[in-house]
Structure 1
Amino acid sequence: MGRDKGLVDYHGTPQREYLYHLLKEVCDSVFLSIRSEQLQETPPSFNTIVDQNEYKGPFNGISSAFNAHSNVGWLIIACDLPFMDLPSLQQLVGKRNPGKSATAFKNPNTGNPEPLCCIWEPNGLQEAMNFLKNSDYPSPKQFLMDAEILLVQPKNEQALFNANSLSDYDFVKSKLKEQERG
């Protein structure tokens, strides 16, 4: 994308703020996972967890959240899901099974779990940390593929669209404009 995807504006506000407010509708507490250099540009009213840089990639934010509050389930949502909406979050939360390691949306294209659109349970996060210590391939998706999880088929498959390029940005803006017209 060439810039911080959390600051991209799809809905009249930076994407990370849009998702933060959406999550407040379904979660008791919401936190932004940020790098230390992002702290100054983050609204002071937002709860934050600064990444501890223990791991590369997505596990960095997930493990930082777990280390901050290890006794709760974490609904993890990537900032680059511009079509994520409240009904999708409500669906995932409504299907949650705390007896599993995680409850994840199933990617409609691959059939794999989406680790960054997932409720990670405390026991699953502990299992994931053990997986990281013993793995040469520290992938949250790989962990979920081998773990005891609940996979949920999203009603709105578009909610899992991951925007990573300028052409993706243009596509999203075009689709959102179409949806507004209705």
Structure 2
Amino acid sequence: MILKDDIYGLILAGGKSSRMQTDKGELQYHATMSQRTFLYKMLEKFCAKTFISCRKDQVENLLPGEASIVDENMYGGPLNGILSAHHRFPQMAWLVLAVDLPHITDKTIQVLLDERDTLKIATAYTTQTSQMPEPLIAIWEPVSLAEAEKYIHAGNYCPRKFLTSQDIKMIFPENDLELFNANFYTDYVQAKNRLAAT
């Protein structure tokens, strides 16, 4: 495993989690460790620096040593967190990971890094089912974030639609389940049961 010195990791954990009705980052899939901390420790192994993208009111819940970037709230949706990080370190590429992905493994991240194409504006996972880029498990190159800002200023907010309009590289996981995101409590229970059975 080679640490990438030109890429920072970002755990997107600032959403309101209205469908889950609890902070998704606080959920525990792996023993007593929160999902937010689990993913933070995972990305620390691969990225030069790792940050948790969060709201101001969430900072007090972070563990000592967990670096954060507070959402600037200039935009809506997940691009808010990604662009807040870009404004802080505009020269860096970002490996972005949503906090609600319970089946992500070290291998998932390693493959994403190995398949990264710096000549494209982003490298993103996609499922065999959707054939659409997953913007919240992707590497965003610096130029892509500058372009995303223009996209927002034109009145658009969907990161997936942005990526589909750009020259990106898409890769497939070994199993689509790796990209499963837990939006509802029933999703959380199902994912936890699957992980317990492995």
TM-score by length of 2: 0.88
Indicate the residue corresponding to 1:72 in structure 2.
Answer: 92
User: Which residue of 111, 127, 134 maps to 1:114?
Assistant: 134
Partner of 1:141: 160
- SS of residue paired to 2:117: coil
Given residue 160 of structure 2, which amino acid in structure 1 is its aligned partner?
A: K
* 1:150 paired residue number: 169
Tell me, in whole angstroms, the C-alpha distance in 2 between the residues paired with 1:108 and 1:2: 30
Runs of 5+ unmatched residues, structure 2: 1-19
Instruction: Judging by fraction of residues, say which structure has more strand.
Output: 2
For the residue of structure 2 that corresponds to 1:66, the secondary structure is: helix
- Listed one character per residue, the Cα deviations across residues 66-108 of structure 1 (whole Å, up to 9, x for unaligned) are 0110101000000000000000000001001111110000133
SS for the counterpart of 1:75 is strand
Unaligned runs of 5+ in 1: none
The AA in structure 2 aligned to 1:163 is A
Question: Is 2:179 the partner of 1:160?
Answer: yes
- Give the match for residue 16 of structure 1: 36
1:125 Cα offset (Å) = 0.8
Task: Give the Cα separation in 2 of the matches to 1:79 and 1:68.
Answer: 20
What is the rounded CA distance, in whole Å, between the counterparts of 2:128 and 2:197 in structure 1? Answer: 22
> SS state of the match for residue 50, structure 2?
coil
Deviations 1:24-68 (A, max 9, x none): 111111000010000111113111100000111111101101011
Aligned residues: 178
How far apart are residue 154 of structure 1 and its match? 1.2
Q: Find the partner of 1:45 among 62, 65, 69.
A: 65
Distance 2:97 2:147 in 1: 20
Is 1:96 matched with 2:116? yes
- Residues 1:125 and 2:145 aligned together: yes
RMSD (Å) for aligned C-alpha atoms: 0.9
TM-score normalized by the length of structure 1: 0.95
